[in-house]
Chain A
Amino acid sequence: DAKTTQPNSMESNEEEPVHLPCNHSTISGTDYIHWYRQLPSQGPEYVIHGLTSNVNNRMASLAIAEDRKSSTLILHRATLRDAAVYYCILRAGGTSGTYKYIFGTGTRLKVLA
């Protein structure tokens, strides 16, 4: 199973952009890069995913390096509600239900008021 490496924790000021890095040097050509976050006392929540191109959605942007060995989740304006643990996960294809998410330790984001 391809693994990811993230910093244990990061801090950001409210209203400022946050760049959360993730290294995945053993990624294979068919692995999708998924990001989830887990707010305190809640289940993980899908944030965004991508394969090769950068992606934007209402929650965040995902910047994927050209060699795909790293990616960065970008929160454009951090709010106090964005304080959570952010997980970067690689997800391969295959038949339905066969691939499991391997959650690492994630990055705990602290947002300062």
Chain B
Amino acid sequence: DTAVSQTPKYLVTQMGNDKSIKCEQNLGHDTMYWYKQDSKKFLKIMFSYNNKELIINETVPNRFSPKSPDKAHLNLHINSLELGDSAVYFCASSQDQEVGPGRSEQYFGPGTRLTVT
């Protein structure tokens, strides 16, 4: 069974469109994240959610809106896509409570490669 899954795996779209990426984890974790990996391979956190509550919101444009309908899902909706949004987006999850945020490891999904043309 896949621990952290993302759909779609590839997404090609035109500038100005709105798109969503879905993420699901079946690990029972309480914290989920979105990361962006750009063309230079830098991996940077965008958001984190703990028990459906937004915790971390890095300096990400308002066009990006995460939504967590339940603890197992964290979706990423992107409005008015721009060329610079082209990247690989990774979802991750961790169990922070009980384990402790300092010690808990994150499980990453396979990534969604977004290409904006």
Interface size on B, residues (CB 8 A): 32
Residues of A in contact with B, size category:
20 to 34
Instruction: Mark out the residues of chain B between 1 and 57 whose CB falls within 8 Å of any chain A CB in the assembled complex.
Output: 4, 30-31, 33, 41-45, 48-51, 53, 55-56
Beyond A44-B92, A44-B108, A92-B101: 13 further Cβ-contacts under 8 Å? A32-B103, A36-B106, A41-B111, A43-B4, A43-B92, A43-B111, A49-B103, A91-B102, A96-B51, A97-B49, A97-B96, A100-B48, A101-B45
Chain B residue, CB-CB nearest to A100: B45
Contacts of A37-83 to chain B: CB distance below 8 A: 38, 41-46, 49, 51
* CB closest residue in chain B, given A50: B103
A51 vs B49: C-alpha distance in the bound complex, in angstroms? 25
Residue among A36, A42, A46, A94 making CB contact with B111, cutoff 8 Å: A42
Report which of B4, B41, B101 forms a contact with A99, defined as CB distance below 8 A. Answer: B101
Q: How far is the CA of A41 from the CA of B10 in the complex (A)?
A: 12
* Cross-chain contact of A45 among B50, B102, B108 (Cβ < 8 A): B108
A32 to B100: give the CA distance in the assembly, Å. Answer: 11
27 contacts between A and B (CB under 8 A): A31-B102, A32-B102, A32-B103, A34-B105, A36-B106, A41-B111, A42-B110, A43-B4, A43-B90, A46-B105, A51-B102, A92-B102, A93-B100, A94-B101, A95-B50, A96-B30, A96-B31, A96-B50, A96-B55, A97-B31, A97-B48, A97-B50, A98-B101, A100-B48, A101-B106, A103-B42, A103-B43
